Structure 1
């Protein structure tokens, strides 16, 4: 009998953590799962499968489950672009149909040449003049029909291509955006079909595992968790739900115009059925209370803050001889090195770093990235154009439990967020990693991060998106790094570690479930 098949009466309390990513690069959910397992919970971490097939593995005492995923709804949406207007009326309904029609038209055109040769052959063999005239007329009419069909097929194919390109640039129509903001479930599922796919795979996994608690990470898992708990209650089982809100969607400005309103709609609908709310950012928590009126829900306490801080145990286990980022680049100890681990997008502001490097003679910058295309490639091209490509480096991600030790050999940790509403509330995970690694920081003047930097005195703040101001801040820190790192007392390091945060999370587990 496997662990998941054990009777509920004889097994340990079970928590199923749902997360709509591939788990590998998500330090928060990994630490949450590891802490829950160490505290005695039978812990399953459920995430996406890169192969699309069911995968199961161990992560210490945690079972990682990646259910089989067809992603049928997402694929259908991708290959069935729907638009309004004339192009929406005449376009082929699918890319595959457009290809088939185009292929058949090419064959018809080729076949006309064959029929002309056959007519010529029959004429040479003595076809009578009257029959020849009739056959030529029929062939001419067929040629005109094929030509006309070609224009029509081309127009429909061009309309399809036009629709597809528009969908890539603007995934949703104005009407669809309006319907999503109104919170209609059908509109939300049409605009964000991955929610349907997640329910199909993650919902089945939640049913199979029969948990006592579902820990839903991010809004795309909230509906999955609430529905699974409702199905369990219908069968006489009690399942509690904790919603872990990693983002505040009312301030989200990402490219997909329906993502943030769809997620806000999910929160608005399903939050009343969640038993508790967690959040890593104080600004998110207070904003959610205001947006959704959480304090009005019967018996509901305000969101509990569980910040995504590095684990001191990981740093202690790594020892002091980790070559880290400096060793990976082969840089001497006296070479100034700026480091930035994590997502690289335009709103992260890293173009400011590249633009500042020409004014920072001898200073190197390293980004830890998960992929090297897209905006990362744009930054590489920018560095080449500015003549600083020899001082601008890309390195691969390292496991989350090794990150703090890996960063420790750098000179300065940088946090370059641009001003968007979401960033004003955010203190990034990397900022906590810089503290644990003992690095001084250079941070942009977004509200939460700049306030904490000034409070701790562990770095300099510069005006976001201003390369000259960034360079000046770097020079100030390089002039006397010790003046900033003296802020890192033992008390500070303990206060900003995962160990204290994990106890807050586990206490919430106990409070919600009544399980010791």
Structure 2
């Protein structure tokens, strides 16, 4: 037991998601705690209220979140075009004005009824004429107000729809690319909200080390370290870069430049950089000139690989993908877990199934609408619905064991800048599950597959090429799985990666919990 003067070094891991589905940060936190670090994993709260729980020896903290900046941006759409000059400034104001107009219209009917009753009770004819004229004028005013309110609300609705279709204006995009903090916060208000909640948590916990996952946490971590320094405490910062934003292709046009701007500003104040992808690490060095920072070494690779301990603990309790489908052991089964979008190349698999008689394909998916539904419809058109299957996600700690009963693991990425640099998490799961692979010819994945000899490569998006590669592996799977030695499995497991992460912790902080 340590004294108060010898408290265990504390690491606070920040991640801008809800933690539950993030296998990487969960493994990082468990490994740090097992190595003796007093570990806090800080993520988002679904309830918006402060929540605390345990993940093994890790304290999971989800601080209270108002998300005030994000809500303001959502309900105060930009005023665009001529209509923007008359549009209501907020959705709430538009609703209030519309409600009041409905009441005014209802009141006109009430006032007509009151006037009719007065007339029936013997109202003076002259007074009746005056009251009728006043009521008619009021009705015209209410009608005119209705047109005006409708026009302003229509302009507001137009602005709101424009925000959904294009979250940022071209002017805003230019400002974000220049890196101005105000422009970045306007375009991505969640950064302000994260500072409000995660920054307070970092101050409260008084860590020795902040492990910032993703760019939205980098500024939060650096500012917390600066506040601690002003109070006489030393807090080190490690930035865990999960993405390379120069190659980002997501729909929100300001997200990537905003995150790149965050990196450019705050990276010089981070004490070390980690990355799960070799291509990202190399590209960051070139893009940000990391090697020019005083005393900074290149990003350290800590890949998001499966934990062998999870595979061992799963044992025989996991029925596996084959059992879930009720397929016999000799039925060829192709498997793909993870995100399904048009750039993942899974259309190629469906197109290839008619040329692979008797072969089944299973996708593990989080939802079944959108592009997934399009693939299902395509399978029906091609007459292979009985061999094209959808299954739900399984817990990350069970995934490797779940996949191991398949015949081949698929990695079907199409050519995009990010995909050329990426080795997907599923690739490491296939290795741990000892599955041979069929992969597309994107750069990083195909190079590693050639190096290991654990699968065949096809031309991305080419069904005929896919059929040839899959047929070759199906003819002799053992020719590819023989490369999976115990040494290979350890090298491509989380246990091997955790050692690298913990060594970086020791280097950066100069502290070793095992010495206490």
TM band (smaller chain)? over 0.9
Residues 390 and 122 of structure 1: is their aligned pair in 2 closer, same or farther, counting only changes over 3 Å? farther
Gaps of 5+ in 1: none
Given the alignment, which residue of 444, 450, 453 partners 1:448?
444
- Offset from partner CA, 1:415-451 (integer Å, 9 cap, x none): 1212211111000111011011111112122111111
Which 10-residue stretch deviates more, 116-125 or 202-211?
116-125
Matches within 5 A, 1:33-72: 33-72=29-68
Aligned residues: 512
> Does the residue aligned with 2:110 lie in a helix, a strand or coil?
helix
Given the alignment, which residue of 9, 33, 41 partners 1:13?
9
Q: Residues 79 and 87 of structure 2 are in contact (CA less than 8 Å); yes or no, is this contact kept in structure 1?
A: no
CA distance in structure 2 between the partners assigned to 1:165 and 1:360 by the alignment:
45
CA distance in structure 2 between the partners assigned to 1:41 and 1:404 by the alignment:
27
Give the aligned partner of residue 237 of structure 1.
Answer: 233
TM superposition shift of 1:210: 0.8
Give the aligned partner of residue 127 of structure 2.
Answer: 131
1:142 lines up with 2:138 in the alignment: yes
- Offset from partner CA, 1:440-493 (integer Å, 9 cap, x none): 112122111111122222222222233343333323322222222222233322
CA distance in structure 1 between the partners assigned to 2:195 and 2:409 by the alignment:
39
1:74 lines up with 2:70 in the alignment: yes
Give the aligned partner of residue 221 of structure 1.
Answer: 217
Matches within 5 A, 1:240-255: 240-255=236-251
Give the aligned partner of residue 154 of structure 2.
Answer: 158
CA distance in structure 1 between the partners assigned to 2:330 and 2:49 by the alignment:
48
Give the aligned partner of residue 484 of structure 1.
Answer: 480
CA distance in structure 1 between the partners assigned to 2:47 and 2:192 by the alignment:
19
CA distance in structure 2 between the partners assigned to 1:496 and 1:362 by the alignment:
32
CA distance in structure 2 between the partners assigned to 1:222 and 1:80 by the alignment:
27
CA distance in structure 2 between the partners assigned to 1:73 and 1:389 by the alignment:
46
Give the aligned partner of residue 200 of structure 2.
Answer: 204
1:337 lines up with 2:337 in the alignment: no
TM superposition shift of 1:321: 6.2
Give the aligned partner of residue 398 of structure 1.
Answer: 394
> Does the residue aligned with 1:319 lie in a helix, a strand or coil?
helix
> Does the residue aligned with 1:9 lie in a helix, a strand or coil?
helix
1:258 lines up with 2:234 in the alignment: no
Aligned-residue CA RMSD (Å):
2.0
- Offset from partner CA, 1:318-340 (integer Å, 9 cap, x none): 33564211112222212222222
Given the alignment, which residue of 281, 286, 290 partners 1:290?
286
Give the aligned partner of residue 407 of structure 2.
Answer: 411
Give the aligned partner of residue 85 of structure 1.
Answer: 81
Q: Residues 83 and 173 of structure 1 are in contact (CA less than 8 Å); yes or no, is this contact kept in structure 2?
A: no
Residues 137 and 472 of structure 1: is their aligned pair in 2 closer, same or farther, counting only changes over 3 Å? farther
Residues 120 and 445 of structure 1: is their aligned pair in 2 closer, same or farther, counting only changes over 3 Å? same
1:304 lines up with 2:300 in the alignment: yes
TM superposition shift of 1:353: 2.8
TM superposition shift of 1:96: 1.6
Gaps of 5+ in 2: none
Which 10-residue stretch deviates more, 73-82 or 124-133?
124-133
Given the alignment, which residue of 250, 271, 274 partners 1:275?
271
CA distance in structure 2 between the partners assigned to 1:387 and 1:318 by the alignment:
36
TM superposition shift of 1:7: 8.0
CA distance in structure 1 between the partners assigned to 2:491 and 2:3 by the alignment:
40
Give the aligned partner of residue 425 of structure 2.
Answer: 429
- Offset from partner CA, 1:97-123 (integer Å, 9 cap, x none): 211211222222222222223333333
- Offset from partner CA, 1:282-302 (integer Å, 9 cap, x none): 111111011111011111111
Q: Provide the TM-score with structure 2 as the length reference.
A: 0.94
CA distance in structure 2 between the partners assigned to 1:72 and 1:382 by the alignment:
43
1:500 lines up with 2:496 in the alignment: yes
CA distance in structure 1 between the partners assigned to 2:200 and 2:389 by the alignment:
43
CA distance in structure 1 between the partners assigned to 2:381 and 2:154 by the alignment:
37
Q: Residues 56 and 65 of structure 1 are in contact (CA less than 8 Å); yes or no, is this contact kept in structure 2?
A: yes
- Offset from partner CA, 1:347-400 (integer Å, 9 cap, x none): 222333334334433332222233444443444444445444443333332222
